[in-house]
């Protein structure tokens, strides 16, 4: 059975790329036909995606250029929301067209990840956010949350937002985007997960330690 997931987060720098890389690497180790894409990338030019390049490097995966071009559809050099980047660089974003192409290419794989840009309400166009894009794709979402102080509120807010937007939640991944420095940090990371599960009942897919 083919499985495709959209990777979202409550904010930028929440570990989406890191989590996607880990899931890719784990799937490859099990000989699963897996691929990831970054359909819209800001802060990266010339049709390249620094996030997707990181994922492929971490997964030790070499992707031919003709396939790569199907996985990165719009790039902007300005590191900001897609809406602002497209305005600054005088380029348009055909979100319907992008969603259609992603749904098409995902059919070539047994497991496929779509990493979004920014947070769940980051604007992509004047009328659409990341949440809207995720709904357009129609795939279950995996929510990434940075496992640090504030993670409980962030994770619960993200779940409530996803539910309000009509998104099917596959589960949540906690990522240690900041390496714990002492026993207190480690306790915070542990209790964040326990409290989140008590408050939401949402499945926890993984708790990735900082090791890539």
How many Å apart are CA 104 and CA 182, to the nearest integer? Answer: 46
Quote the strand ranges of the chain, DSSP E: 3-8, 34-37, 40-42, 74-76, 111-115, 141-146, 169-175, 204-208
Do 161 and 121 form a contact (C-beta atoms < 8 A)?
yes
Residue 175 structure tokens: 């990522």
- Beta pairing, strands 34-37 & 111-115: parallel
Whether 198 is a known active-site residue: answer: no
Which of these is catalytic: 16, 38, 101, 160? 38
Residue 80 structure tokens: 């900001």
Positions marked active-site: 38
């Amino acid at each position: 059975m083919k499985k495709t997931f959209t990777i979202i987060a409550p904010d930028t720098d929440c570990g989406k790329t890191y989590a996607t890389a880990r899931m890719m690497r784990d799937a490859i180790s099990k000989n699963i036909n897996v691929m990831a894409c970054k359909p819209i990338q800001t802060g990266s030019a010339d049709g390249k995606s620094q996030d997707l390049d990181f994922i492929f490097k971490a997964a030790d995966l070499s992707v031919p250029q003709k396939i790569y071009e199907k996985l990165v559809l719009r790039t902007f050099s300005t590191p900001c929301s897609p809406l602002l980047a497209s305005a600054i660089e005088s380029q348009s974003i055909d979100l319907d067209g992008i969603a259609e192409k992603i749904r098409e290419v995902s059919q070539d794989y047994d497991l496929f990840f779509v990493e979004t840009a920014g947070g769940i309400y980051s604007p992509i166009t004047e009328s659409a956010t990341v949440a809207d894009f995720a709904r357009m794709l129609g795939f279950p979402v995996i929510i990434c949350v940075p496992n640090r102080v504030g993670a409980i509120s962030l994770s619960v807010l993200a779940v409530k937002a996803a539910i309000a937007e009509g998104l099917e939640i596959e589960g949540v991944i906690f990522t240690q985007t900041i390496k714990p420095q002492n026993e207190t940090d480690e306790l915070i990371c542990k209790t964040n997960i326990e409290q989140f599960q008590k408050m939401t009942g949402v499945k926890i897919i993984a708790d990735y330690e900082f090791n890539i």
